[in-house]
A and B are shown apart, each in its own frame.
Chain A
């Protein structure tokens, strides 16, 4: 009756919880509760069942061959270890998310570069006190008045005033 697999990896639930975004909190909570339930069930079950006291039974039971037969069959019995079919699926899932994660990180880094550029532009702007209107239109292109589309003052639709 041997064959314990102690392949359990210690999971830091605190660190895991920190990294969960708000909209996935519910899923995380369900995962945690199921994991906790499973681990409590595991700890409640003994690792080995207690040994059967054959000598006592041999003494007390009158039928001669019964106990010996039971003992023989019991020690010959091999309980099959349950086959693990799901871990492969989990590994496949992990690989797929790895790809997505890498793509997201790349996109995120590109976005950060964009933001950094904008930030540098804002930080290196000349102070407003020293700007002329031309400089303002250069720094904030949306302030430029479209003199072709609206040739008459105020050069923008009246509703925008």
Chain B
């Protein structure tokens, strides 16, 4: 975790400065550096620290004594040592002992009770940092990918540039064709108009002649009717009308 990494930053910096190993930073997985500072990237820190018993005594000690003394060997050794120290008054019990007992018990209680939650909190802080950097990285990747997509799309677009010019040429050709056809049509229409005009003129002339002749003939006929004939025809008409009216009355 980066939290432990930050804690180890100081010894790591020291390690970078002085090639010899620094005290208190020994891990079985990490190699001791020789004379030159190592430029290769460090292997990642192990997830768990070395196993310990009673918080201070490494497990390797128990394994070391196991072949000779079995499981209880180190415990016996420890008990014997403590009894020896107390009885021979090499370790003197005084007020400092009480202080140590109280302090240590308080510390151990505090760590055991609140350790995990504090660790989780620190972990969360780190997670947030990691998340922000990760979003930056992902957004950059996405942006680059979309940029590449866009560029490819633009290249594809450019391939269609011939369409525009084909369309323009087509338009020009069509306009010329239209012009030509319009001219043909115009010629045809004009010629036809003139021929039709001739025909219409002819017909009009004929009709005018006919009308004139008819009216002339009518006028002559009307002129030729004498007053005597006029009276006789009127009298005849009256007689005819009387006869007709009689016939009509009879049928009604």
Closest to B5 in A: A132
Query: Please, how many residues of chain A have a CB less than 8 angstroms from a CB on the other chain?
Result: 74
CA distance A9 to B207 in the complex (A): 56
CA distance A39 to B172 in the complex (A): 11
CA distance A111 to B172 in the complex (A): 38
Please judge, given known A-B contacts A11-B166, A104-B158, whether A49 and B184 are in contact too, CB under 8 Å.
yes
Interface of B is mostly: helix
Residues of A within 8 Å of B187, CB to CB, are 49, 74, 77, 79
Q: Are A34 and B171 in contact (CB under 8 A)?
A: yes
Q: Are A52 and B188 in contact (CB under 8 A)?
A: yes
- Is B140's CB within 8 Å of the partner chain A? yes
Q: Are A8 and B170 in contact (CB under 8 A)?
A: yes
Interface of A is mostly: helix
CA distance A69 to B188 in the complex (A): 15
CA distance A112 to B29 in the complex (A): 43
Interface string of A12-46 (1 = CB under 8 A from B): 10011011110000000001001100110110011
Q: Are B41 and A135 in contact (CB under 8 A)?
A: yes
Interface string of B179-218 (1 = CB under 8 A from A): 1111111011101101100110010000000000000000
- Is B174's CB within 8 Å of the partner chain A? yes
Interface string of A112-130 (1 = CB under 8 A from B): 1001101100110110111
Interface residues of B, Cβ cutoff 8 Å to A: 1-2, 5, 9, 12, 41-42, 44, 130, 133-134, 136-137, 140-141, 144-145, 147-148, 151-152, 154-185, 187-189, 191-192, 194-195, 198-199, 202
